[in-house]
Chain A
Amino acid sequence: MRSACLVVALWLGAVLLPGACAYADAFSGLGSARPDEMLGAISTLAVSGDPQAGTVLRALGERHLFAAPDGGLYIRQGETCVDARTGQPVATVPDGLKPVRLNNRIRTALAGAQASMALLAPQAETRLKAADALYARHDPAMVPTLEHALSVEKDAAVRTRLMQARAATILAQPAQQDTQDQRLEAVRSLAAVGGLEARGILAGVAQSDAEAPQVRHAAQAAVSSMDWHLRAWSVAQNAFYGLSYGSVLLLAATGLAITFGVMGVINMAHGEMMMIGAYVTWMVQQAIRVSVPALEPVAILVAIPVAFVVCGGMGVLIERGLIRFLYGRPLETLLATWGLSLILQQAVRSIFGPTNIAVQTPAWLSGSVAVGGMDITLNRLAILVFAALVLGGLMLVLRRTPLGLQMRAVTQNRRMAALMGIRTPRVDALAFGLGAGLAGLAGVAVSQIDNVSPNLGQSYIIDSFMVVVFGGVGNLWGTLAAAMALGMGGKVLEPAIGAVSAKIAILVLVILYIQRHPRGMFPVRGRGVES
């Protein structure tokens, strides 16, 4: 490239080709449209020791690197624009700047180059991260770099990780006769590390025909012992998935357990209350982003009480304006609330548009933590905890507050409660509001894992009814047990028979169960039930 450039420049003279070959250094390939040239430039830069190399590669990864038509490279971030080669700010931004495009191949190479540079960083933490990245990447070309890093590394933890990274990298090289012992040692070292990544590398070795027999056998033994561990962990992992799925079902169903279970109102608009809760979450996020950007990470926490109040308020309005005229007429209630659900859907569609809206997941709810051999995703964990808190809070309200006492009294014997001076219409309105508010809370939670669109509610309403009926109408513990049973059941069946069949199987099982036990798992007993 460089010599070709030089020849052309000499031949045509600098006047005819002003600037086109003004830059012929390690950086110039970065602006190229050809992946091979970019890859070459990245690896050259990584070992060049150029003071600007780190900055330029970081800018490339963050897509702040721009190429000018004359081969100049600039780092542009907001208003500032600096020359990538010198690090000096430029007074006038050149014309025709185009962002340097990445693809996955270049992104992978870039991550490797950055990690290899970070291996010599002063902070042990940075070096550990770099070693992690190289372990995950196990690029055969990195062996010398790792050897060098190991020779100067003092920190024990980083050393261990570097050894593992070297082992992975050695195994990624093609097998040769004289490297047998080294490879055998690497297999042992990786077998001790464990995890899916190591399993992947070892499985590759175990299948390779080029490998010496004893290395291959060692790898096979390691893979089968790892598989046993992974299987054991996958049971625990599945149990967590089941709990987490159950907790979503529980959240969606608790509100319904109040309105349907306790009050006996079939509320088909329950799902739409969830949908409105999710939209409230979005509006709160937008409002906070505009007014107090510092609070953005906790916007979701602010949304919890707001969604409860908004949906609860709507619930009270719906009860006063619609439901109270229909008590004792279940079919009309069903039709009226279904109509209401369509009206709410279309209203939201008209106001916010038919497309999904993007509710942000704050950083502290993204990602996962590794516990032994399983990954616990943080948003699912948060929903699990949230569901437990909501259920606990609801129990407290029903058991320990005057409102809860009155609600239970009205449920058990409406006339007697009225004679004792309880204003039953007010209790009805508040109970319905409570149910709607709980749906709003479920909406906040669901906005973190699902689509937020006008159709959100429809995908939960059937499952919610199923949970409440399966658990036993009027019994919160039954709702909890049913949600967990359905969640666990679904997740146990899913890996074995697939998601579609699992869903069908669960429905069939629930139908069979309900046929034998029409009142669900935990029927409410007593005199008040029959009326």
Chain B
Amino acid sequence: MPVNLPPLSRRAFGRLALAASAAAVGGMWRTAPARAAAPTGEPIRVGILHSLSGTMAISETTLKDVMLMLIAEQNRRGGVLGRPLEPVVVDPASNWPLFAEKARQLLSVDRAAAVFGCWTSVSRKSVLPVFEELNGILFYPVQYEGQECSRNIFYTGAAPNQQAIPAVDYLLSEDGGGAKRFALIGTDYVYPRTTNQILVNYLKAKGIADADIMVNYTPFGQSDWQTIVSQIKAFGSAGKKTAVVSTINGDANVPFYKELGNQGISATDIPVMAFSVGEEELAGMDTAPLVGQLAAWNYFESIDTPANTSFIKQWHDYTKNPKRTTNDPMEAHYIGFNMWVQAVTKAGTTDHDKVIDAMIGIRQPNLTGGVAEMLPDHHLTKPVYIGEIQEDGQFSVVWKTPSLVPGQAWSPWVPETRDLIGDWSKPIACGNYNTATKTCLGHRHA
């Protein structure tokens, strides 16, 4: 498979990044003499496990860049525990088994204090046993289907109750059009299937009949949407307001929206609520026909707060490209990284067990307002926003949850997991604790 950097050049890359950040520190001295002294001592290695080639490179390369930016910034502030951070970048090349291999290498060869990585759920599932076996720390920054709670993973993206459920609530509300009929369209893999299972149960609990729910899956990279869009059109002609909930994976969205536009379906007829379309995906689309289509996220680039403005500026300066967009998983890495820095500072060591215990309860302000808190189930509290696509490829927020929503690892809308919670604080210290029977289903940390 393509471009697996051999260990030597990877180290060299790490040193290069270090040298670059050192140079940046030098630059800062002239303008801001009040800055902290350059960190010294043994560097702390931070693993970055994002695909730089293959199909997922489109989304994950950006996350690698944002991590390098955050690490450089932290080094400029004096590193962590007075020691510099050293990024170790590996390329798992969108190849799921290779993710596990690279994770093992990061933990056992490079001794990474923490790893930031993965995008697809299948890549997370493939590295999970490695992180549990070697007791590593993974920060996973993408919205996902939930139903998982590992002691070694911090889920900084949204759980279903922080994205899917509020989004459907909005569609059901008067402002969202008061939809009575739902087409759940997704790519055929674990995230859409689990999310749709949760949504179907939720919609039924809200009084939507079986006949008013349509579920359809397509292969990865689907480009011919003619049949499915015409099915949606026919489904929408039953005399009830219809909405589409899309869990279509990034790449297949462009032809999907194109086909919707061509077949004359506008957002006012049948709105489409997407869970995987962000600023980055829109950058490759002609957005004029999409105006009014919806997306649910915990962050939008267009949200006007001082913290967000300075983050965007920092990103533009770092990439030297004023057109680069920011998106939700980038914010998740921003929050996760800063929480990890706080936890290491609090624990006074990079020891994995001590850092994992110190993480719970750490608070870090969101870029868009409110404070994210790391909960005992390793999920965050997050605000949920519904945004509408605008002509300029940005989202304008049309609705937000009145308060922050705490993430739930296990969905109460799936019968098997209704009574489960994750709680890694003592005394429960269990990833799947049944609150009805008061037992841990075997996911306990010794």
* Interface, chain A (partner B; CB < 8 A): 35, 63, 101-105, 107-108, 111, 136, 196-197, 199-207, 230, 234, 237-238, 241, 244-245, 248, 342, 345-346, 349, 354-361, 366-368, 375, 377-380, 449-455, 458-459, 491, 494-495, 498-500, 503
Contact = CB atoms under 8 A, between A and B. Distances in A.
A498 B55 CA distance: 24
Interface residues of B, number: 60
Contact of A107 (B216, B261, B268, B285): B268
B419 interface: no
A455 B55 contact: yes
Interface of B is mostly: loop
B251 interface: yes
Interface in B389-446: 390-391, 396, 398
Contacts of A459: 221, 223
B129 to A, nearest CB: 27
A355 B262 contact: no
A360 B230 CA distance: 23
B284 A452 contact: yes
B388 interface: yes
Given A200-B239, A238-B227, A377-B226, A354 B57 contact: yes
A349 B226 contact: no
Contacts of B219: 499-500, 503
Given A349-B57, A356-B58, A449-B223, A500 B188 contact: yes
A101 B396 contact: yes
B283 A104 contact: no
Contacts of A380: 226, 262
B236 A355 contact: no
Contact of A377 (B228, B234, B263, B388): B263
Contacts of A453: 58, 251, 284
B311 interface: no
Nearest to A107: B268
B264 A494 contact: no
A379 B286 CA distance: 15
Nearest to A492: B227
A380 B221 CA distance: 18
Nearest to B287: A358
A368 B226 contact: no
Contact of A342 (B2, B254, B267, B391): B2
Contacts of B285: 356, 358
B237 interface: yes
Interface in B300-345: none
17 contacts: A104-B267, A105-B174, A196-B237, A197-B237, A200-B239, A203-B238, A204-B239, A238-B227, A241-B226, A345-B2, A346-B53, A355-B280, A367-B264, A368-B263, A451-B255, A491-B226, A498-B216
Nearest to B227: A494
B259 interface: yes
Interface in B238-280: 238-240, 251, 254-255, 258-259, 261-264, 267-269, 271, 280
B259 A203 contact: no
Given A103-B388, A495-B231, A204 B267 contact: no
Contact of A450 (B2, B223, B280, B398): B223
Closest 8 interchain pairs by CB?
A356-B284, A204-B239, A200-B237, A196-B237, A203-B239, A377-B262, A499-B218, A241-B226
Given A103-B175, A103-B388, A241-B226, A449 B258 contact: yes
Given A245-B224, A451-B254, 9 more contacts: A102-B388, A104-B292, A104-B388, A196-B237, A375-B264, A449-B258, A453-B251, A454-B57, A500-B219
A494 B225 CA distance: 11
B3 interface: yes
Contacts of A356: 58, 251, 254, 281, 283-285
B147 to A, nearest CB: 22
A219 B390 CA distance: 40
Nearest to B325: A355
B13 interface: no
Nearest to B231: A495
B222 A63 contact: no
B108 interface: no
A349 B60 CA distance: 13
B59 to A, nearest CB: 8
Contact of B240 (A204, A358, A495, A500): A204
B289 interface: yes
Nearest to B264: A368
Contact of A358 (B228, B237, B283): B283
A238 B234 CA distance: 13
A63 B391 CA distance: 10
A377 B259 contact: yes
B283 A355 contact: yes
A282 to B, nearest CB: 11
Given A366-B262, A499-B228, A107 B58 contact: no
A196 B223 contact: no
A353 B143 CA distance: 24
Residue from B55, B57, B263 having most chain A Cβ neighbours under 10 A: B57
Contacts of A248: 224
B352 interface: no
Interface of A is mostly: helix
A454 B2 CA distance: 14
Contacts of A136: 269
B82 interface: no
Contacts of B230: 234, 237, 241, 375
A252 to B, nearest CB: 11
A392 B400 CA distance: 56
Nearest to B269: A136
A228 B233 CA distance: 17
B218 A368 contact: no
Contacts of B175: 35, 103, 105
B177 interface: yes
B61 interface: yes
A103 B263 CA distance: 22
B330 to A, nearest CB: 14
Contacts of A355: 58, 280, 283-284
B96 interface: no
Contacts of B398: 101, 103
B265 to A, nearest CB: 10
Given A104-B271, A349-B53, A450 B255 contact: yes
A475 to B, nearest CB: 25
A200 B268 contact: no
Contacts of B238: 200, 203-204
Nearest to B294: A104
A493 B388 CA distance: 35
B202 interface: no
A397 B309 CA distance: 59
A136 B236 CA distance: 13
B284 A107 contact: no
Interface in B136-154: none
Contact of B286 (A102, A200, A238, A360): A360
Contacts of A349: 53, 57
Nearest to A377: B262
A385 to B, nearest CB: 16
A244 B226 contact: yes
A103 B389 CA distance: 10
Contacts of B188: 500
Contacts of B224: 241, 245, 248, 449
Given A355-B283, A367-B262, A453-B284, A105 B239 contact: no
Interface string B170-183: 00001111000000
A358 B286 contact: yes
A24 B263 CA distance: 43
Contacts of B177: 104-105
Contacts of B255: 449-451
Nearest to A137: B268
Contacts of B396: 101
Contacts of A378: 262
B236 A200 contact: yes
